[in-house]
Amino acid sequence: MSYCILLYYLSMRKVLIFSTNYAPNIGGAEIAVSEITSRLSAQGFSFFLITSRLKRSLPKTENVGKVAVFRVGFGTRFDKWLLPFFGLIKALRLHQKNRFDLVWTIMASQAAVAASFFVFFHKKIPMMLTLQEGDEEEHLKRYVFGNTFLYERLILPFHHMPILKATRITVISEYLKKRAENVKKELKITLVPNGVSFNFWNKKIKTENLERLAESLKIKPTDKVLITVSRLVRKNAVGDLIQSLQYLPTDIVLLIVGEGEEKEPLLSLAEVYGVRNRVIFAGKVPNDQLPSYLRISDIFIRPSISEGFGISFIEGFAAGLPVIATPVGGITDFLIDGETGLFCKVRSPKDIADKVKILLADKKLVSKIVANAKKLAKEKYDWDVIANKMKEVFNSQ
């Protein structure tokens, strides 16, 4: 028995993952890593992950799910800037013990620079890059205070380095595929979107639990609820949602789930437009509670300015909500106007309101959109489907 276990272990493909953030800091990219590794660990893969420590309270080494996690740095917010160097050192030491078969790096960020340095020393190890970026590339100018000269010489070369070094690239949307091709024309790029656990978002929830949640948020039974699950940052244009309320009946309220740097300006905006009593800031909600928040709502909306993919929209699909979104970035991969959702214009509170009115007035349209979107979420975006696609990509390296 022990001999069989040894043979199995020796036959496993060892994957070294580089990610600038990881648990407990969870976003779309981190969820993708967790979901994919949890499924592929039972299919002949073992995973090791290097990330920045960021907080002193976080252990330097621990197992998170099926992944052996190694955090580097001093436990401060500057650790991500040290990651290209400390991550390289940690990777070289781990490789001496484990002899990795593949490097997988998430997003063209500091972690990907560390991965690029590592494969410079180990050229025979293939490097796979997954692009998950939601911001426009020029958003990186913030690191040099908007200075174009410094951006082109200090930021872009490191941002493009992983794309140039990668032997294989996966992207979560056609939009990101085009961005990668703008850096290097001859690339082997595979579209593998992010996913959802369909049964989790579509699960049954007791009516009394939903009523209790609505009551705690001071939502009346007669209210119509618009919900957005968003980081409160400029690119998600939550302010446009708040402004749209001025064009809608007073029984329509906005439920905002999420936190971010824009919270105080958004509170002020709601006061300015006289809709503060119709805007509910729920803050950060644990993932296991999110289906309930979606279930007490009537329409999911996020009028993004830019979006790499937008997994929250697919979660809305799976939960059975009609979705309103802008035709930007990766959203156009899954939202077909009038079929799986409705498009609204970018930076147009009035058009948001017009689309809300359409959905509230046309039950037949809502039924069609919800049915189509649910079917799409289950058949194309369930994590089991996505993990199998990633397995094919890993095995092709």
Residues 301-358 have pLDDT tens digits of: 999 999 988 999 999 999 999 999 999 999 999 999 999 999 999 999 999 999 999 9
2-195+383-395 and 198-380 share one fold: yes
pLDDT band at residue 9 using 50, 70 and 90 as cut-offs? very low
Q: What is the mean pLDDT of residues 47-66?
A: 96
> What is the side-by-side strand order in the sheet with 168-171?
61-64, 67-72, 45-52, 13-19, 102-106, 127-131, 168-171, 189-191
- Cα–Cα distance measured from residue 164 to residue 166, given in angstroms and rounded to the nearest whole number: 6
Cα–Cα–Cα angle for 305, 130, 92, nearest 5°?
135
For 180-225, what is each residue's pLDDT tens digit? 999 987 788 999 999 999 999 999 999 999 999 999 999 999 999 9
Burial class (CB in 10 A: 0-12, 13-18, 19+), 224: middle
The answer to whether the beta carbons of residues 238 and 257 sit under 8 Å apart is no
Instruction: Read off φ and ψ for residue 224, nearest 5 degrees.
Output: -105, 130
- SS3 of 80, please? helix
Q: Are 294 and 300 in contact (CB under 8 A)?
A: yes
Q: How far is CA 26 from CA 19, 69, 155, 216, 304, in A?
A: 11, 14, 25, 26, 20
Q: Are strands 61-64 and 67-72 parallel, antiparallel or unpaired?
A: antiparallel
* Domain 198-380 CATH superfamily: Glycogen Phosphorylase B; (3.40.50.2000)
Residue 41: left if φ>0, alpha if ψ -120 to 50, beta else—which one?
alpha
For residue 276, the number of C-alpha atoms closer than 13 Å in the C-beta half-sphere is 10
Residue 7 contacts residue 111 (beta carbons within 8 Å): no
Are 170 and 191 contacting, i.e. CB atoms less than 8 angstroms apart? yes
At the topology level, CATH places domain 2-195+383-395 in Rossmann fold (3.40.50)
The answer to whether the CB of 150 falls within 8 A of the CB of 110 is: no
CB atoms within 10 A of CB 96: 8
Quote the Cα angle for 223-227-229, to 5°. Answer: 160
Backbone angles phi, psi at 261, to 5 degrees: -65, -20
Tens digits of residue pLDDT in 19-39: 999 999 878 889 999 999 999
Q: Give CA–CA dist 350/241, Å, rounded.
A: 9
SS3 53: coil
Query: Quick one: pLDDT at residue 6?
Result: 41
Task: Please say whether the beta carbons of 125 and 168 come within 8 A.
Answer: no
Domain ranges of the chain: 2-195+383-395, 198-380
pLDDT beyond 80 at 5 = no
3-state class of 83 per DSSP? helix
Radius of gyration (C-alpha) of the chain in whole angstroms: 22
Return left, alpha or beta for 69; rule: phi > 0 is left, psi -120 to 50 is alpha, else beta. Answer: beta
Helix ranges, the chain (H): 2-11, 28-40, 79-98, 110-121, 148-150, 156-165, 174-183, 198-201, 207-216, 238-244, 263-272, 290-295, 311-319, 349-361, 363-380, 383-395
Q: How many CB atoms lie within 10 A of CB 334?
A: 22
Query: Is 7 a residue whose pLDDT tops 70?
Result: no
Q: What is the CB neighbour count within 10 angstroms for residue 142?
A: 11
Please say if the pLDDT value at position 361 is more than 70: yes
Q: pLDDT averaged over the chain?
A: 93
- 69-119: per-residue pLDDT in tens? 999 999 999 999 999 999 999 999 999 999 999 999 999 999 999 999 999
In order, the DSSP letters of 264-311 are: HHHHHHHHHTT-GGGEEEEE---GGGHHHHHHT-SEEEE--S--S--H
Query: Does residue 335 contact residue 174 with C-beta atoms inside 8 Å?
Result: no
